[in-house]
Amino acid sequence: QLKEKGFDANLRRLLDEIRDRDARDAARAASPLKPAADACILDTSSLSIFDVVDRIYSLLRERLAG
């Protein structure tokens, strides 16, 4: 998307910048970025969008039933 709009999109650099930003946000003194105590962490890296939706739906049903 960035390349289509004329921006330089170096994927490796972009991922490094995102990791750096996330590390800063998680380590900041005021309101560090962290998951809620009852958060569900879902690694979607190897899932299709359909698998993600199915998993979220299952988690929601479990939460509401529980």
d(CA 23, CA 65): 35
pLDDT in tens, 25-37: 999 999 998 899 9
Residue 13 sits in which domain range? 1-34
* Amino acid 64: pLDDT: 94
* Amino acid 1: pLDDT: 66
The percent of residues in the chain predicted with pLDDT above 70, rounded, is 89
Contacts of 32 (CB under 8 A, 6+ apart): 25, 26
Same domain, yes or no: 22 and 40: no
* Amino acid 2: pLDDT: 66
pLDDT in tens, 47-64: 999 999 999 999 999 999
pLDDT in tens, 13-27: 888 999 999 999 999
Same domain, yes or no: 50 and 63: yes
